[in-house]
Structure 1
Amino acid sequence: MTAVFRFLSALLVTSTLAAGLMTFGAAAQNTDDPSVINPDEGAPGTMPELPIPPESGDEGPMVRPAPDADPEMPPEAFGGPLMEGEEEVDETMPEDGAASTDLAEPAEKQPETLETLFAELKKTGDETEAKRTARKIQRRWHESGSATIDLLMRRATQAMGHKENATVIDLLDQVLVLEPDYAEAWNRRATAHFANGDYGKSISDIEQTLAREPRHWGALMGLALILERTEQDKKALEVYGEVLDVYPALKSAQDAVGRLSEELTGPSI
């Protein structure tokens, strides 16, 4: 009797399991039933499948910075001010960063002044070496001696990088109230006015810059560029000549002199 009961119980369990499997299979095939979870759509608690990023070059349309409106504008116009975060290189160290082992090198170098740097710039014919000297001069131009002015100038530089010229001008107005003899602030404001297409105000600020630093080749380059754009090529040629008198190895000024000379007098035979 006990053996028969066990056999019937096993048979009943087997039948129940078979019926359950058949019901589940039918439900799985019915994809229209909203209560049925399609494993392809992701069950609760599982990570959804992420799209595979496209290969480089196949990203599709995306927003990119607009090209410069004036591609012919030389980078040295208005001095090409140092941008915030730009690496400052110790000009006294070799390029590989190692200490100099040259026994002929004096133990202490004489401090460089603007006068000595400009004298070096004037006599240097090598373009690379001239750029190094020019960078030293630019760093001197950026030394305001005031933490407040330095902060305002950094913010103006950031705004200039985002083409927020109204903000740039407002910040530089504040700088010039605090220090009206700071030539680089006048130069930066001339740059902002130029970017706005307000050549009159730009020239006015260039004049203020040159009144405080007549050798500011960036301001001179900006002035020459404005003169060219207002079809005053002869005057522009004279100003480019002034640039080369200060910075003879500046290639963009050399090219401008050659181009304008040819346009005004015709090609040399």
Structure 2
Amino acid sequence: MIRAAVISLAFLLPLPALAQQAPERVDELFSQLAQAEEDSWEVIEVELDRLLAQSGSPAMDLLLERGRLAMQDDRPGDAVEHLTALTDHAPEFAEGWYARATAYYLTGRVGPALADLQRALALESRHYRAISGLAVILEETDQPRRALQVYRRALAIHPHAPDIKEAVARLEAVLLKEI
């Protein structure tokens, strides 16, 4: 009985995210991503995303998965609940903050989304998806110049990301027309 309680508690204790446990590997992948050839970036992106999405705790990883599934099933309110539990129990896990920012954004709660993006970026400043999320919000709040700057920051980290490249090109064209 005591052993089962200790084991279940171990799954709930906040653990350092796997990315924090292997910072050299994360650094290496970000470096490879920035320098990748057109035909090799996707493999690096997948490995980096996999590593960044591992909290170091099976229970926390399950909360992330449940939050993501809720968003896929068009239930962002449920996603916020799962991801709030995740950020409460794993406050050093950048991906949890990014995921909850996405869920907040999908519910129309831009302020909390911005706060969570800020927290994610404080934990992992190279989180290009969080940077891109910030740029999306800036663009949607009629701040195209700032959005372009932020998209360019994301593009410097991940130069082959199709959605980021498209956003930069779109905003450059829009801003060029204003001149």
TM-score, length basis structure 1: 0.55
Q: Which runs of 5+ in 1 are unaligned?
A: 1-111
Within 5 Å, give how 1:57-96 maps onto structure 2: none
Tell me the alpha carbon deviations over residues 237-257 of structure 1, each in whole angstroms, 9 at most, x when there is no partner. Answer: 000110111011122222221
User: 1:191 and 1:240 mapped to 2: Cα distance?
Assistant: 17
Cross-structure match for 1:186:
97
Which of 152, 166, 176 lines up with 2:77 in the alignment?
Answer: 166
Q: In the alignment, which residue of structure 2 is the partner of 1:8?
A: none
Task: Choose the corresponding residue for 1:224, options 135, 139, 144.
Answer: 135
> Post-superposition shift, 1:170?
1.1
Residue 120 of structure 1 corresponds to which residue in structure 2?
32
Residue of structure 1 in register with 2:146 after alignment: 235
8 A contact 1:176–1:182 mirrored in 2? yes
In structure 2, list runs of 5 or more residues that go unmatched.
1-23
1:265 has 2:176 as partner: yes
Q: Which residue of 2 aligns with 1:196?
A: 107
Report the structure, 1 or 2, having the larger helix content: 2
Secondary structure (helix, strand or coil) at the match of 2:160 reads coil
- Between the aligned partners of 1:253 and 1:142, the Cα distance in structure 2 is 20
Write the distance in 1 (CA, Å) between the matches of 2:147 and 2:49. Answer: 23
SS in 2 for 1:215: coil
Correspondence for 2:41: 130
Larger radius of gyration: 1
Q: Give the counterpart letter for 1:151 in structure 2.
A: L
1:18-33 equivalent positions in 2, closer than 5 A = none
Report deviation, 1:265.
2.4
Q: Distance in 2 between matches of 1:165 and 1:251?
A: 25
Distance 2:61 2:37 in 1: 33
Query: Once the 2 structures are TM-superposed, how far is the Cα of residue 201 of structure 1 from its aligned partner?
Result: 1.1
- Structure 1 Cα separation of the partners of residues 84 and 178 of structure 2: 45
TM-score by length of 2: 0.82
Give me the whole-angstrom Cα distance separating, in 2, the residues matched to 1:173 and 1:125: 38
State the identity %.
33
2: CA distance, partners of 1:153 / 1:244: 26
Cα distance in 1 for residues equivalent to 2:58 and 2:158: 30
Q: How many residues align structurally?
A: 156
Deviates most, 132-141 or 160-169:
160-169
Q: CA deviation at 1:266?
A: 3.0
Paired residues of 1:224 and 1:239 also in contact (CA < 8 A) = yes
